Amino acid sequence: MARVAVVTGGTRGIGAAISKALKAAGYKVAASYAGNDEAAQKFKAETGIPVYKWDVSSYDACAAGLKQVEADLGPVEILVNNAGITRDGMFHRMKPENWTAVINTNLSSLFNMCRPVIEGMRERKFGRIINVSSINGQKGQMGQTNYSAAKAGELGFTKALAQENARAGVTVNAICPGYIGTEMVRAVPQEVMEKSILPQIPIGRLGEPEEIARCVVFLAADESGLITGSTLSANGGQYMV
């Protein structure tokens, strides 16, 4: 029987590519989203992947959403924590609500999503948790103290949870994308892209969402049980650790 995979933020951008790649690899996929009903329904119509709407910053919403997914599709064995937001601004001008929103959506969501499924994974002696962090969680980024803090926190969360669950057959890994050619990134003015962004990337181009999706499929595989607590940097050589 096909394993069930949940992808948060799974109907747009990198998340949509991940959802489609997992389905192509034979998984039963559920894609969650926060608020864009039109995009979600279009994604569902095009892919046949069921979509579920909930706020990942709310523990109760995550618990209820995951319960519904398991009722519809079966036990969640693959969890991809991809949902995230930005509220950029220099720290000395940052509003408390912009700090809190980013921390809650990007970091606290990992607790909210993992806690309802971790016991089941441990009981079944199998699980794959994949957290989509960011290059800016590794190196920091001016104007993104909130985002960088949350994404760095994801890496610490990944390493600790991996240690706790290794003997139970549950792996926990992180992926740190660099600049990926999503709709948001491609909206950057061409001059800025050519003068400020691309020169930082040794391979000389943006990554593609599908390249991040292939990383997820690799880490989700039954055969990837040796890899846990790892951070996979997918940034074209922009930052090497």
Q: Which residues are identified as catalytic?
A: 147
Inter-axis angle of helices 13-24 and 209-220, to 10 degrees?
50
Residue 179, CA distances (Å) to 7, 83, 164, 196, 233 in order: 20, 16, 32, 12, 11
Reduce the DSSP state of residue 176 to 3 states and report it.
strand
Query: At 28, phi and psi to the nearest 5?
Result: -85, 120
Q: CA-CA distance, 187 to 86, in Å (whole number)?
A: 15
Could you give the dihedral angle defined by the CA atoms of residues 63, 20, 227 and 156, in that order, rounded to the nearest 10 degrees? -50
Q: CA-CA distance, 120 to 70, in Å (whole number)?
A: 11
Q: CA-CA distance, 100 to 158, in Å (whole number)?
A: 21
